[in-house]
Amino acid sequence: MKLHCIVEDAGIARAAAEGGATVIQLRLKELPTLDVVERGRPVAEIARAAGVTFVVNDDVEAALALSADGVHLGRGDQGKELARAAGLMLGVSATDVYEAIAAVEQGADYVGAGPVWATPSKPDAGAPIGLDGLAAICEAVRAPVVAIGGIDASNARDCIAAGAKGVAVMRASRDARALRAVVDAAAR
């Protein structure tokens, strides 16, 4: 869970894998499942070839069709039961301690906590939780917590210091090498 790179295409997936991403998450919002599967095939191949965990965002059916390792669902997304029944690793988003606890109680293998800071990648994400909110979530759940939202090489270390087991990035996915170095150093 160290470096979770959220990608929309194969080019970014390749850069993330070459830079040391430990998880590649395909995020294609608002597309029908068939389009996610079609556009996700090369991303899945890159992840498999690199030995990187492959996760699909929001779409359990696409995750199954792509033989993904897991699926990441938002707080209101459907499919947690199907994901668990299919044996997919399940990540769930949380913006506070209560949501994080509920996610783990409902079977989440990891919690995506945030946004830690404001992010242009997801302008509707809600108010930032900051490092204090991240630390509270990390203390409240036994599952690994991955910090998300406004994270880059300048602040990833702070997220690990707050208790996160990893960071998730979208804009910074092309800079995976620098981020991986920061996360590895912070985890020591």
Work out the burial of residue 99: count CB atoms within 10 Å of its CB; fewer than 13 is exposed, 13-18 middle, 19 or more buried.
middle
Residue 50 near residue 180 (C-beta atoms within 8 A): no
Does 41 participate in catalysis according to the annotation? no
Residue 17 near residue 50 (C-beta atoms within 8 A): yes
User: How far is CA 175 from each of CA 72, 92, 181, 183, rounded to the nearest angstrom?
Assistant: 22, 25, 10, 12
Does 93 participate in catalysis according to the annotation? yes
Among residues 14, 80, 93, 173, the one annotated as catalytic is 93
What is the number of other CB atoms lying within 10 angstroms of the CB of residue 188? Answer: 5
Residue that has been written with the tokens 């690990």 in this structure = 160
- Give the Cα separation of 168 and 155 in Å (integer): 12
Among residues 48, 84, 122, 157, the one annotated as catalytic is 122
Does 80 participate in catalysis according to the annotation? no
How would you classify the pairing of strands 89-94 and 110-113?
parallel
- Give the Cα separation of 134 and 14 in Å (integer): 29
**Residues belonging to the active site:** 27, 93, 122
